[in-house]
Amino acid sequence: MTGEETRTAMSPPIRSSAQDAELHPPATRAWLTRAVIIGIVLTALNLRPAITSLGALLEEVRDGLGMSGSFAGLLTSVPPLCFAVFGVMAPRLARRFGPAAVVCAGMVAIAAGLVIRPFAGNTAGFLVASALALMGIAVSNVLMPVIVKRWFPDRVGSMTGLYSMALALGTASAAAVTVPMTRALGGSWHAGLAVWAGLAAVAVLPWIPLVRARGTALSTDAASAPAPTHGASSASAAGQEPSPLRITRSRTAWALAVFFGLQATAAYITMGWMAQIFRDAGVPAGTAGLLLAVTMVMGVPLAFVIPRLASRLPSQGPIVVALGVCGLVGYAGLYLAPAGGAWAWALLLGIANCAFPLALTMVGMRARTGAGVAQLSAFAQSTGYLISIPGPLLVGVLYQHSGGWGLPIALMAGLMIPQIVVGILAGRDRTVEDEAARRP
């Protein structure tokens, strides 16, 4: 899962720093680093348009495919299900094929899925093609924190911020322009969804030379990484494969997984249903898409600021509380005056959704080693996305059977309380390696 593990599994001879310098001279390493940064940014841009573009056109897709409200709720639950199922495979795939190859394949899967799904012709085909795109997103979701930790160990906060900012930009762009772009393409929701495959195709390009150069983010030379610190095992320092952590022994890992799951529940409910909530309140479709875009675009500046701030604090609890309060106020406003204060509620819920970059930052901070980050990232994201699966589906069922948005919004607000509690626990200054070693 980490650089040490990948090198041990794929390259038995342990190279010295001098040998690594010959294989990767400074000019080559600088080029590879730039390619990694470009690849990270382009990959992040593609990790949400498959979801938010569908949210903006959900009503048209429902009508076109004859979906019920409950089935539409199931459709909005597919992303976390795929992220949980396929995300857990990412570390093993990265160890076997190299992370650059896995992310490159992930971008190909996204492009293929987005091209196929609008023209599948029925709900089953639409779901299968969506799952293909979401599989590519899932493996990239898990590998991004690991790549950042490995290539930029002294800049985890700033690089996580850059990645999160690009992710938020892609999310907001898809929400904002999908409806007007669909109109410009003749009003066909098929074309409005398929056009996002082009962005995924572009994201394939920077990973190709990295695969060919054998300079992947997790199997690159050890000379680029700092020496193990804070009590890292001698086995890791010697370049041997460290023993896997018993990650389930760590209370922090569990707290982070639940926090990740609850914030993902809120995010996917927002991406899948918020535009429909505004439309049902009398807001025009184009404006509803813009409101969703405002919610998503708040992540662009805050996703860069919050990880940098979080990495400077010993505990991230105060940030968790601040984001949670914004979410509670936003949901209250959405319940009381969804159309009258729409822009304010969209803004506040956008701030609350920045729990995602905070969770990614805590993944990098709650483990000391690359091995720990890989295991924690896979565990927290896979477990978290499993936790988030019922949320969007339950919202669809409540909406259909209650005939309004009162109960769904109450559910969203109620889930914010445990999110704050477990976020405070996950933000404490400790590492999963220490907790796993202490517990019997």
Distance CA 157, CA 363 (A): 11
pLDDT at position 224, please?
A: 36
Q: Reply yes or no on whether the pLDDT at 233 is more than 70.
A: no
Residue 244's pLDDT band (cuts 50, 70, 90): low
The CA–CA distances, whole Å, from 193 to 71, 131, 296 equal: 19, 15, 18
Provide the token pair at 161.
């911020």
Higher pLDDT, 355 or 36: 355
Distance CA 413, CA 398 (A): 14
pLDDT at position 254, please?
A: 94
CB 6 within 8 A of CB 95: yes
pLDDT in tens, 86-132: 877 887 887 788 778 888 999 999 999 999 988 887 777 888 888 89
Q: Reply yes or no on whether the pLDDT at 11 is more than 60.
A: no
C-alpha 53: how far from chain center: 16
Distance CA 291, CA 282 (A): 13
pLDDT in tens, 277-294: 888 888 887 788 788 878
Q: Which residues are within 8 A (CB) of 34 and not within 5 positions of it... i.e. 6 or more apart?
A: none
Q: Which residue has the tokens 């342990």?
A: 14
Residue 440's pLDDT band (cuts 50, 70, 90): low
Higher pLDDT, 268 or 201: 201
Half-sphere exposure of 344 (CA within 13 A, CB side): 14
Across 12-21, 158-167, 375-384, which has the greatest mean pLDDT? 375-384
Distance CA 431, CA 436 (A): 9
